[in-house]
A and B are shown apart, each in its own frame.
Chain A
């Protein structure tokens, strides 16, 4: 049995900021949802089901917050699901929402992912000491820095590659009114001069801590027929592996490679760099751009940094990556994956404004989480799949 066609017909996001002190959690979600509904030309009452995604509950100090949010999100009297798959959650949530349509169970699904990081402190929430263990953990940066070092060693990459990514994404963010960071004048040199936080990761090579939300309206084929510019879903994939398996490849995890292979196959893509017009890839620390370029098959193993260095991932490059500014410019953790998925959809709908890639017809949305063991990805296109 084939999946029922499904398309993104509405996309909304908040203005992401370090602290959105003007809104409650419900207000944050509704800001994104109301924009997505307006984009889709739909009211909340027309929605069949709502899927909420969010990273750990300790971030906001509410256990299963979708329960208290149910009424404010217009979910009362409807099916409501809450997905949580670590940092990949925004992507996984969009995939679960699409599957409700692809299964033929619902026709109009609204999905929203959010994080209100300013309610607490993510470093604290991710580093609550575990008895008997060595308290050397230092949040996500402390977790990923050793693996970045491994990549640099393995690929023989020059030290400034991460800075190229950071400068590119921060400049892309200047074209995105919703982005959290609008750091004018960021250059490779200024990034290299920023403080070393978790050596080898510098301050300007890390994502910010943001409040923000993203929402999508996903519709069945007949509903999407009324939309002037649906983003059709050409493939979705989720893959997981263990956090700490003996001899697990933490630089280029098998789950990532497997996910990419399954995704390209579903979407009928044999040569991603030529057939994908732009990619929104989850890059919370700058070095993950070259790492994921290799893992996703845009570059051969060891060559990802060369692609980045060549300028191919710039807005006008061969494979533009993170034209929105990416996670490096806005990181409401639970929503970050959905922002990648949503930005990819905006591109193929031709609605990305100043950061639009000319003629983008097929785009990748990508998210990962945990310690690089959870992956969620999709390919969206301006044409109906198979057409």
Chain B
């Protein structure tokens, strides 16, 4: 058995980027099948255009259309492409100086093998069929053919508006691991137990246990099995829906201080109208059916009022 529990997590969002005038001009060009660079104060034509001049620091304004044919000035073979790259089979990343430009741009070159690549080789843009005003409007570069490169399809008038924004999907896959102490807690939950740990220095009982007691910097160690009943110290009623939310609002998110623990943890309160939940309310864990249990705190479906009298404020005021 691994020391720790782990599970996959995907962090994904389609970012909505506003481009500003300079990058907007470049991306508008790509949509229209034209590569646009800019002349800097020192006279060099740079692609993509820098937003601000490297010398004067003024915003770039002198745009220049360059060729879609150019020369490879450096390249690197990609034997195992990763998700999101321009091609899903081996290809080259290359720096390509387009005719009319003085500096190279970074993009992919679509060839079958590294032996087809060389510094100095001539390449041309292969445009995407549907262009939206993004770097991926250039699918890749390909070796220059004898016949002149196919012109990009012309732009309809309905597309004449300049690009001011671009959507950039970002999706990263991770494996999240719980700490060894948390893993012990989650494994306990899989057995229907709530296991905290006591800090060897300050003697406080933490649930979940901690790799370092925040007061002393020492790992909690001595296991303490906790009651399934506790006190609501404080709470809020979540009425607001948001992206990625797992529970349908409105719901009560409450700090529950289990009997025997020295720290409250967040959970859900149900079986009572939200406006009747109180600070000091006594609650008990309601577990899901055992066949649905895993190594997660979601084994506890929610907390429910015990019906006992509320705890005295003095008993939990140091936990606010």
Check A128 for interface membership: any CB of B closer than 8 A. Answer: yes
Check A184 for interface membership: any CB of B closer than 8 A. Answer: no
| Of B29-37, B142-150, B249-257, the one touching chain A | B249-257
Check B282 for interface membership: any CB of A closer than 8 A. Answer: no
- Asked if A197 and B215 make an inter-chain contact with CB atoms under 8 angstroms apart, the answer reads no
Q: How far is the CA of A74 from the CA of B19 in the complex (A)?
A: 19
Residues of B within 8 A of A149 (CB): 234-236, 279
Check A249 for interface membership: any CB of B closer than 8 A. Answer: yes
Q: How far is the CA of A120 from the CA of B13 in the complex (A)?
A: 7
Q: How many residues of B contact A (CB 8 A)?
A: 72
Q: Which residue of A lies closest to B169 (CB)?
A: A61
- Asked if A146 and B18 make an inter-chain contact with CB atoms under 8 angstroms apart, the answer reads no
Specify which of A23, A43, A72, A147 is in contact with B52 (CB 8 Å cutoff): A72
- Asked if A132 and B297 make an inter-chain contact with CB atoms under 8 angstroms apart, the answer reads yes
Q: How far is the CA of A200 from the CA of B50 in the complex (A)?
A: 48
- Asked if A246 and B215 make an inter-chain contact with CB atoms under 8 angstroms apart, the answer reads yes
Q: A123-B243, A134-B268, A135-B247 are in contact. Are A21 and B164 (CB under 8 A)?
A: yes
Check B2 for interface membership: any CB of A closer than 8 A. Answer: no
- Asked if A199 and B236 make an inter-chain contact with CB atoms under 8 angstroms apart, the answer reads yes
Chain A CB within 10 A, most for which of B279, B295, B313: B279
Q: A123-B243, A146-B236, A197-B240 are in contact. Are A26 and B320 (CB under 8 A)?
A: no
Residues of B within 8 A of A251 (CB): 320
Shortest CB-to-CB span from A250 to chain B, Å, is 6
Residues from 110 to 156 in A contacting B, C-beta threshold 8 Å:
116, 118-121, 123-125, 127-139, 141-142, 145-147, 149-150, 153-154
- Asked if B18 and A136 make an inter-chain contact with CB atoms under 8 angstroms apart, the answer reads no
Check A222 for interface membership: any CB of B closer than 8 A. Answer: no
- Asked if A136 and B51 make an inter-chain contact with CB atoms under 8 angstroms apart, the answer reads no
Chain A interface size, as a band, is 35 or more
Residues of A within 8 A of B253 (CB): 136-138, 142, 146
Shortest CB-to-CB span from B306 to chain A, Å, is 20
- Asked if B182 and A132 make an inter-chain contact with CB atoms under 8 angstroms apart, the answer reads yes
Q: Which residue of B lies closest to A34 (CB)?
A: B57
Residues of B within 8 A of A24 (CB): 17-20, 22-23, 51
- Asked if B20 and A247 make an inter-chain contact with CB atoms under 8 angstroms apart, the answer reads no
Specify which of A21, A119, A150 is in contact with B234 (CB 8 Å cutoff): A150
**Interface of B with A (CB < 8 Å)?**
5-9, 11, 13, 15-20, 22-23, 50-52, 54, 57, 59, 164-165, 168, 170, 176, 178, 182, 186, 199, 202, 204-206, 213-215, 233-240, 242-247, 251, 253-255, 262-263, 266-268, 274, 279, 295-298, 300, 313, 317-320
10 A-B pairs closest in CB distance: A242-B214, A145-B236, A24-B20, A199-B237, A131-B7, A135-B246, A150-B320, A246-B204, A246-B262, A245-B214
